[in-house]
Amino acid sequence: MQYRTLGRTGVQVSTLALGAMNFGAIGRTTQDEATAIVDAALEAGVNLIDTADMYGNGESEQMVGKAIAGRRDDIVLATKATMPMGTERNHRGGSRRWVTTALDDSLRRLGVDHVDLYQMHRWDPATADDETLSALTDLQRAGKIRYFGSSTFPAHRIVQAQWAAREHHLSRYVTEQPSYSMLQRGIEAHVLPVIQEYGMGVLAWSPLASGWLSGAIRAGQEFTSHRAGILPQRFDLTDPANRARLDAVEQLVKVAGEAGLTLIQLALGFVTAHPGVTAALIGPRTLGHLRSQLDAADTVLSADVLDAVDAIVPPGTDLAPGEKFDTPPSLLDAALRRR
């Protein structure tokens, strides 16, 4: 396992980090299975575990808490907030009222007195940056969080938040968690350069592109995926974007084979090859999935291999831009762009 410094925090984290979104109902992973996955990941050298309050409506945090009991100090523990937790209109977002409550709820579910990294799961356009940053700074000073970061923020919002922190003399976001894979490279155009400018750490989610880069989705063969049942549109091959992804996957399989790698090794090695990326978040549902992904722990891609990937999916290109979850609200709601 390789290790890198998380931004400018001085904290060393493994280049493969364990994402716990699939723990519980979402991935149909039981507590015993989740604990076995955590055990195997830690034994392999993984030292960062990432979850969120909305994963299974708190179930993932509870399962992570039970899995790490007795060894919390050896783990860089990260969770997230701002996504809706139930139907109550104020149980979401980046307000001081909710962020403070959400953190206390997460700490209780995790069974810990602090988290190392607390992340705003999405940018909340209804809340001023200084409102959220002020609350996070106070929680940091209270010892409930060590650092805080953002997730899936557009580049201009990352810049705005950094400016607000400096303007109001508050602590700043030290990490960003964007979607990044060989099939989703849009962040290379704006997000990663901004992150590098501010010295932020990067935890890349969905490095296997929701399973497209797992090797299970190939032309001419049937595939089964729990995600296909939840989000069937992402795998509908009548969609031109999905046809483009499938064509790219077939070409990438050849690149991997010629390099003596599995497609998973190529995919994870690609993400961690970028100098702006600290770690790739893997989200296994089973021990088998975990082991196939841990095989990429020490994968280093040559320039020739990276050039071959560039020839298939050009730098800065998203083959499925609608799945980035960072579209400006005004592009989704016509009322926000009309007077």
Tell me what pLDDT residue 225 has: 56
Tell me what pLDDT residue 46 has: 98
Tell me what pLDDT residue 226 has: 55
Tell me what pLDDT residue 84 has: 96
Per-residue pLDDT of the chain (339 residues; tens, 9 = 90+): 999 999 999 999 999 999 999 999 999 999 999 999 999 999 999 999 999 999 999 999 999 999 999 999 999 999 999 999 999 999 999 999 999 999 999 999 999 999 999 999 999 999 999 999 999 999 999 999 999 999 999 999 999 999 999 999 999 999 999 999 999 999 999 999 999 999 999 999 999 999 999 988 887 676 655 555 556 677 777 788 899 999 999 999 999 999 999 999 999 999 999 999 999 999 999 999 999 999 999 999 999 999 999 999 999 999 988 787 777 777 778 888 888
Instruction: State the total domains in the chain.
Output: 1
Tell whether 298 is covered by a domain.
Answer: yes
Tell whether 158 is covered by a domain.
Answer: yes
For the chain, give the number of residues.
339
Tell whether 337 is covered by a domain.
Answer: no
Tell whether 328 is covered by a domain.
Answer: yes
Rounded CA-CA distance 236/242 in Å is 7
Angstrom CA distances, 287 to 75, 94, 251, 267, stand at 19, 35, 28, 19
Q: What is the DSSP letter of 147?
A: E
Rounded CA-CA distance 182/184 in Å is 6
Tell whether 265 is covered by a domain.
Answer: yes
| CATH number of the domain to which 326 belongs | 3.20.20.100
Angstrom CA distances, 244 to 19, 213, 241, 247, 313, stand at 27, 13, 5, 5, 10
Q: What is the pTM of this model?
A: 0.93
CB atoms inside a 10 Å sphere around CB 160: 14
**Would you say 142 and 176 are in contact if contact means Cβ atoms under 8 Å apart?**
no
Tell whether 202 is covered by a domain.
Answer: yes
Rounded CA-CA distance 313/185 in Å is 8
Please pick, among 3, 55, 118, 147, the residue that the annotation labels catalytic.
Answer: 55
- Catalytic, 198? Answer no
| Residue 71 amino acid letter | R
Interhelix angle 129-141/96-110, rounded to 10 degrees, is 40
Tell me what pLDDT residue 27 has: 92
Tell whether 338 is covered by a domain.
Answer: no
For residue 86, which phi and psi values (nearest 5 degrees)?
95, -170
Tell me what pLDDT residue 218 has: 82
**Would you say 187 and 180 are in contact if contact means Cβ atoms under 8 Å apart?**
yes
**Would you say 111 and 80 are in contact if contact means Cβ atoms under 8 Å apart?**
no
Nearest to 185 by CA among 118, 252, 236, 238: 252
Domain assignment of residue 62, given as a range: 3-332
Tell whether 187 is covered by a domain.
Answer: yes
